[in-house]
Amino acid sequence: MSGGSWTHLAVRPLVRLLIGGRVTPNHLTTLRLLSGVGACACFAEGSRAGMAWGGAAWLVSALLDRADGELARLGGLGTPGGHVYDYYSDIGVNTLFFLSVGIGLRHSWLGGWAVPLGLVSGAAVFLGSVLSVLLERRSPPGTKAYSGRWGFDPDDALYLMGPLAWLGWLGPILIGAAVGASAVTLITGIRLLRLTRGTAKA
């Protein structure tokens, strides 16, 4: 889709209202970070109310994650420092999400597996994010490690975590993330290794 994913298009009308004002992309990134950490604190608490409030805060955080980049692009406010701040905020919040869910589900049907699954998922998301950035930096300009389809980016799946928390389905998601994120991280590492070797030979 030209012009960004569906979620970029969804926040664009609101972002346009901020152009020319005092709100900067870094302000939105900070709100994204705070709301994301707040959501994770609710998830780690583990109660039904915690999951409900966590899901709501997570959706706000996910929308702000799109909004800061849109404001930077549309308002011509992007800076190298802001990009780094946004990058590390995203990795930190997404990693913390799986760790906090593992802690919150320690008294669920997952029992003693919940925390280890959270650790594995969080570590895989962190490492996979770092490897993806390294892969993109070593690839031709404009290349993405994983491109979306039909107007959806791969990380749009994170939006679903809010409704899934309301439905009480984060247990299966945690298991799937431990396997899936680990597999994607392994594949990304192999791609990066092959690209690095190919560049060295060239």
Q: What is the pLDDT of residues 114-132, one digit of tens each?
A: 999 999 999 999 999 999 9
* pLDDT tens profile 41-65: 999 999 999 999 999 999 999 999 8
Q: How far apart are CA 64 and CA 201, in angstroms?
A: 42
Q: Average of pLDDT values for 171-179?
A: 96
- Distance of alpha carbon 163 from the chain centroid: 16
Domain range 6-201, its CATH number among 1.10.10.10, 1.10.357.10, 3.30.1490.100, 1.20.120.1760: 1.20.120.1760
Look-up of token digits 């107007």: 151
Against a cut of 0.85, is the pTM above it?
yes
Q: What confidence score (pLDDT) does residue 150 get? A: 62
pLDDT classification of 202: cutoffs 50, 70, 90: low
Report CA-CA distances (Å) from 103 to 4, 92, 173, 174, 183. 35, 16, 14, 11, 22
